[in-house]
Structure 1
Amino acid sequence: MHIEKNVCDNLIGTMLNLEGKTKDNLKARLDLKDMGIRQELHPKEQPNDKYFIPPACYTMSTPEKDLFLTVLKNMKVPDGYASNISRCVNLKERKLTNLKSHDGHILMQDIFPLALRSSTQKQVLAIVTQLSSFFKALCSKVLDPKELDQLESNVALTLCHMEKIFPPGFFTIMVHLLIHLAAEAKLGGPVHYRWMYPIERYLVRLKEYVRNRAYPEGSIAEGYIADECLTFCSRYLEGVETAFNRPQRNYDIIHNAEEYKFSSGGRFVGKAESTVIHHKLLAQAHRYVLLHSDLISEYRRYRS
């Protein structure tokens, strides 16, 4: 999970050209000049002792940044699928900050291949799509050893394509570790049983138990015992909302005062609008209910 997060940060910082986070800076361009490769990206010295850095294919222009960040800002996902990624988008400064590890997981696997379609060049999009497919296959619930062999060869080819486009400074140790993830999955099995998401969530819960920072171990032990006692006692309370009878966050009560042919839970979002149904459509709906509704099945035998 941390490798995925660091690769995501490298991509975001480099493509958006974020100060302090981009891997494409003057030093990276001077490295290209020293190695004698990609002459079109070499920095050009100006008369005022400054350098002009030519734009690269992986760096977004201002309209492309606005388009990409607007997609992330207006994105709607199912409840519980991801956190509110729009809170990390700063359209004014064209930044994407304060991303959590799971945000990077969702961005890399599902969102980047779609959000970058109109915001970057084809060769860069192809690399991002290959990385997305690699992480998604690696994080699947069922792993086939033959597919892992194919993933191991594919990620090596993907890294070769990345080396042709991105500067050498982009390839931190976390990016190089991609080549070993498929072999690690062969030895350790599916990643769901090995990653740190549940452990870090539990560590946050333990930190909440700490009241006296001078004695964190004792605070955690006392808080855990108190939580267990309250949980045990709550099983014998009636008429009190506890962790066992608490309704869901999006709990919608279905009122049975009226019967609906197509009943479903939920509530309206936004302002309600009235619609006038055509007489023919109303007659068809009325006839369908009369012929198919179970509520009036016993009255159908009286029809002529």
Structure 2
Amino acid sequence: MNTVFKLRINVRGDLLNKGFWDSYNVWDLHGEVLVRVDDEVEDDSIEEDNITDMIHDACGFMNVEDNTNSSEGNEEPNVHATKFYKLLENDHTELYPGCTKVSKLSFVVKLLHLKCLNHWSNKSMDELLIFFKEVLPKGSFVPKSFYEAPKVLRDLGLGYTKIDACQNDCIHDYVNVQSCPKYGKSRWKSEGHKGKKVAHKVLRHFTIKPRLQRLYMAKETAKKMRWHKEENIDDDVLRHPSDSIEWKSFNERHPTFSTKLRNVRLGLASDGFQPYGNMSSNHSPKCPGNDIDVYLQPMIKELKELWDGVETYDAHLKSNFLMCVALLWTINDFLAYGNLSGWSTKGKLAFPCCHKDTQSVSLRNKLCYMGHRRFLPINHPWHRNRVLFDGKVEMGAAPCPLTGDEALMQLQDLGNVTYGEVQK
């Protein structure tokens, strides 16, 4: 009756054992009065932390503890998988001999958590770790410095890559200082472009590859990754993305990719900050706009690598294979569509589906988009109805959307495009 607070695992157990209340029929605008029952309420803080479960949840899988390869014919996990399994063993490694409450892995995770919550500086962390080294027994697995602590999470695939960019949305890599279109080449980190003081930004790029590989490094999820090919029923019912027209059309165009059932299709969802929704946000409301293409470069580079394939260990079949990945969908609102696609979603030709055939009328300082009747069947009575619309008969046909090849031909006419603020 939505009146008791419980942990999710306990709610799941209640539903499996008892099911839903038979007479419950209030589906919206719930009228229940919320009452806390002391003997039913459970405190999350009482439950003992389980670092392994936390990592499993973060990576999106469970049941990776048994991954031995003792049977003949089973391949050894590749270097990446072996490294991951070894790190999970650290959760069962005592921080120091005789320590039963804290493991090597949980110590690092909790320490970094405290650092974030309390805004500790890197220097204070170094001094704290030195102190731990002095007071804990010899042979403890305490990191020597803060620099070593995040390495554990990076090896688990939970870290990110830092990429620097200047205020003009110009990305600089680690080795070579690239030329900024506006200020030229210089040691910009210390001096700024051409000696000018230029603020810089830090892009945190969360890599896709290790997270996808994790899905196959757990037996249960590795098996489920094959469901669309082995267990799905093709009965014209949309119950899985593999039943969609996009998925099937992609399979026809790329038969080599689709025949390998362990290949992965991705959907990319993007959204911007709402500057008026949360004024107390620490994020700057300034959006990069069309310069978002600069910050998408690391992701596009990784997607190209994934399309060619990366070696991955399948814990279900106990074998290594080449996992190829394709980006099948992009999901975003109309404003983000303009920045990501390059088609302006403002002005007289705002609608990509109508492109150059968009019908718009200027009403003072606003644009009104017309011509909707073109999309009705040719024999629909509204085509000739003057009263309900603008006093005109509409007998035009719906515009044909641009094909991919036609869009590329238009892009070729733009010539060389430079990333960043120097070009509209």
- TM interval, short-chain normalised: under 0.3
What is the TM-score of this pair, normalised by structure 1?
A: 0.25
Q: Which one has a larger percent strand, Structure 1 or Structure 2?
A: 2
